[in-house]
Amino acid sequence: MTIGPDRTRGKGRDVEFDLESQPEIVQTIAGYALQGWELALTWLLSPAAWSQFGLLIVAYVAAVLINRRLQPLLARLLDPGENDNIIAKARRFVAQFLPLMLPLLAYALTGIGEGVVRSIFDSGAVIAFGKRVFLFLAVRALVRDIVNDPFLKLLGRYVLVPLAALYTLNLLGLAATQLEATVVPLGNLSFNLLWLLQFVVVGGVIFWLGQWSNSQSSSFIQKQEEMRPSLRQLVAKLIEFTIFAVAFLVLMNIMGINLSALAVLGGAIGVGLGFGLQKIASNFISGVILLVEGQATVGDYVELDGGEAGTIVKMTARAAILETYDGRWIVVPNEDFITTRVVNYSDSGSANRYEAPFSVSYDTDINTVPAIIEAAVAKHPEVLDAPYPPDCELRGFGESGIDFAVEFWVNGIDDGPNKYTSDVLFLIWNALRDNNITIPYPHRTIEVSGELRTTSAS
């Protein structure tokens, strides 16, 4: 569109503003502004346009009245109360979309009005624009009030809402044409911006669905308590790998990428695994072996030959993560669990044996000590009667006293939040004190040979 020079008067002198001398983008914006102004004048002077404005108002008022009646009723019908079954979850899911009722009702009623107007005046540009506005309001309410997932909210804010705005202004086709015409070269390859935008959006949605499906399936598998923990971990990993592999193949198919072209990439990855990725491949296979055999799984307390010890809190494809009782995380490659000796304190049950040493003085009747100590230690709520009850044993005759030790079994590890040996030593102290048995301390006898001489002060 060509716009001639515009001459205006300001501050006592003629000022000439020539759009033809301005940049192309300024001319384009001015052209669209002029078209919009002409369209607005046409609508303001047209009886058909005024009738369409009236129908828009009537449709919106009717939508408001219907929404006031229906929304409380639907809210009561969809309220599941305290139930948590599948039907209750479905009702909660549907109830969260109630804020969309008003703009969607206005959209539907406006669509009916558009049909009536087009049948009478053979024109419906105004009411069609209003219908698109109501749809835009519905999309904005969806992104702002209903979507809670951070990724979907980001996608809706920066992709869905702008697309709805372009559709409302009837510029969606023009924007798509411009994006498709903009080609980005990348070496021997090239792609347009429209394809890139579609790839990002479709890929993001597909992999979000994959992540959601993976979390739901993992949650379901972890609830199957009849399965071994290691088997649950293995099944969860297999499902995760399958879901994301299928998501990748679906994305490639949707975007029209030839999968046969990935054969070269697969060969390169195979060569890389054979040379530079040996350790990664070894750790991955070791992790599968661990999950299949169940020798170590999440929740076990293990100690390796290298001195690493802690509770397994996570097992990945490459390594296991141990959490020590002082809060540190240790990443141990899966291969170390296969090639080195591992002590699993939680395997075959969680009962472990500990002992607490103590001594009594030589003037004690040691025949009474075992019964006193065993009865005292057995009172501890965490000390087990099976596989063996507390057992007090005579260990030797020391320099200052007679040495004993009491062996006891408990569930769990004597570290972190559980201080079993400390509790047992308190019980031993109190039991010996109540029975007037003395705990010795080191004595030293000094012998002086020869004559002692004293010097008097002058």
pLDDT in tens, 120-135: 766 667 778 888 888 8
Question: What proportions of the chain, in percent to the nearest 5, are helix, strand and coil?
Answer: 60, 15, 25
pLDDT tens track for 295-332 = 777 778 888 887 788 888 888 777 888 888 777 888 88
CB atoms within 10 A of CB 424: 25
Task: Tell me what the pLDDT averaged over the chain comes to.
Answer: 78
What do you get for the CA distance between the two ends of the chain, in Å? 129
SS3 313: strand
Rounded to an integer, what distance in angstroms lies between the CA atom of residue 86 and that of residue 83? 9
The pTM of the full predicted model, rounded to 2 decimals, is: 0.51
Rounded to an integer, what distance in angstroms lies between the CA atom of residue 185 and that of residue 192? 9
Instruction: Please name the residues in contact with 343: beta carbons below 8 A apart, sequence gap of 6 or more.
Output: 302, 303, 304
**What string of DSSP letters covers 93-124?**
HHHTTGGGHHHHHHHHHHHHHHHHHHHHHS--
If we measure between CA atoms, which residue out of 430, 439, 437 comes closest to residue 376?
Answer: 430
Structure tokens at 351: 């009962």
Beta-sheet strands, E only, within 290-336 = 301-304, 309-315, 319-323, 329-333
Rounded to an integer, what distance in angstroms lies between the CA atom of residue 255 and that of residue 205? 13
pLDDT tens track for 58-73 = 888 888 898 888 888 8
User: What is the predicted pLDDT for the residue at 10?
Assistant: 42
Q: For each of the chain's 458 residues, which pLDDT tens digit applies? A: 444 444 444 444 444 445 566 666 666 666 666 666 666 656 555 666 677 777 788 888 888 898 888 888 888 888 877 777 778 778 888 888 888 888 888 888 888 877 777 777 666 677 788 888 888 888 898 888 888 888 888 888 888 888 888 888 888 888 888 888 888 776 666 778 888 888 888 888 887 877 777 777 777 777 777 776 666 766 777 777 777 777 777 777 776 666 665 565 566 566 665 666 677 777 778 877 777 777 777 778 888 887 788 888 888 777 888 888 777 888 888 888 888 888 887 755 567 888 999 999 998 999 999 999 999 999 998 898 888 899 999 999 988 899 999 999 988 777 766 788 899 999 999 999 999 998 888 777 777 777 766 666 65
User: What is the predicted pLDDT for the residue at 77?
Assistant: 84
